[in-house]
Amino acid sequence: MSAVLQRSFRILEELATAPEGKTLTELVGELGLPLSATHRLLSDLIELGLVHKDERRGEFSLTMKIPSLGLKFLSAGGVVDIAQPILERLAAASGELVRLAIVENETLIYVAKAQGAKQGLRYDPEMGRPVTLSCSAAGMIWLAGKTDEEAMRLVSQQGFGTPAEFGPRAPTTFKALMPLVEAAREHGYATTQDMFLPAMSSMATPVLAPNGEVRAILIIAGPMSRLSEDRMQALVPALKATAEELAEASAVSPMFRRPLAQEHSGGSEAKTTRTA
């Protein structure tokens, strides 16, 4: 991949987290790129219609061109339209936030959600962002479907989520993480508390394509005050049943039928996550 393309994509990723926009100085500081190169790349992105500059405030922000492309892709794939009513039912039954993350190459991307909490604390993080593998239930259950070597490679590539950035119990070493991955592998689902965010819980299980590959992850998340360990255990049957329903309903989607990108596993067989 060319350096220009890599730098351009880093700028787009940074702006995707700042709908209010960022100045050239902020982008240079956060990305560690040369000022002149950043300015030149921003000019090219503006010319392509991907970035807008507020001349009065000097801030750069994404246009709707990239989000609209993503929405067109998801709409054509049919996954979100198929999944939404199913997610809504699980959200209503659990009373918590339900999310769906799609496997995309070597990442998980949140693409759909349904909010079940009608009052009190409502957990509702950003959509469209990659899943942090090392400290999320979604990441752990996805890693559980891979060999230990492949799981460690993926986490090393992304980096650990630190307690300062995430929750106080976020694993920061493979010694702490891999037993959690093994437990997820054994049970067919993963649970976390105080890991992705302080005082928050999550649970996740895989959604399988017709050929048995993990193509998406189904997640329930909420505050620990409501989503306790006992409550998560009680929700496991509903979580797994909904994942099976999603798998059956989404089998008609081109996104579920297309082959996954080849993984760099050195030809080794990945362990399959058991959902029973």
The reply to whether 176 falls in a domain is: yes
Give me the pLDDT at residue 103, please.
87
Q: Per DSSP, what are the bridge partners of residue 23? A: 59
pLDDT tens digit sequence for 157-201: 999 988 998 999 999 999 999 999 999 999 999 999 999 999 999
User: Domain range for residue 168?
Assistant: 70-257
Q: Same domain, yes or no, for 13 and 43? A: yes
**Mean pLDDT computed over 12-33:** 89
Q: How far is CA 61 from CA 13, 38, 56, 275, in A?
A: 11, 14, 13, 42
Domain count, the chain: 2
Judge if 152 and 30 occupy the same domain: no
- In this prediction, residue 127 carries a pLDDT of 55
CATH no. for residue 42?
1.10.10.10
Q: Give the model confidence (pLDDT) of 207-221 as tens digits.
A: 998 888 898 999 999
Domain end (from 11, 41, 63): 63
So what's the pLDDT on residue 265?
A: 41
Query: How many CA atoms, within 13 angstroms, populate the side-chain half-sphere of residue 197?
Result: 11
Residue 102 domain-assigned (yes or no): yes
Q: Rounded mean pLDDT of the chain?
A: 84
CA distance 78 to 90: 19
- Helices of type H across 216-270: 229-250, 254-257
Residues 141 and 118 both lie in one domain = yes
Q: How far is residue 63's CA from residue 41's CA, in Å, rounded to a whole number?
A: 15
Dist CA 228 CA 193 (whole Å) = 8
198: tokens are 């302080």
Residue 169 tokens, joined: 């119990």
214 and 146 co-located in one domain: yes
Q: Which two tokens stand for residue 97?
A: 């936030």
CB 52 within 8 Å of CB 61:
yes
Looking up residue 92, the CATH number of its domain turns out to be 3.30.450.40
* Selection from 239, 232, 231 nearest residue 275 by Cα: 239
Mean pLDDT of 54-77: 75
Q: Is residue 48 part of a domain?
A: yes
Shared domain check, 83 and 49:
no
Residue 270 lies in a domain: no
Q: Position of tokens 């702490």?
A: 176
Across 128-142, 216-230, 231-245, least confident range:
128-142
Taking the C-alpha atoms of residue 59 and residue 259, their distance in angstroms, rounded to an integer, is: 40
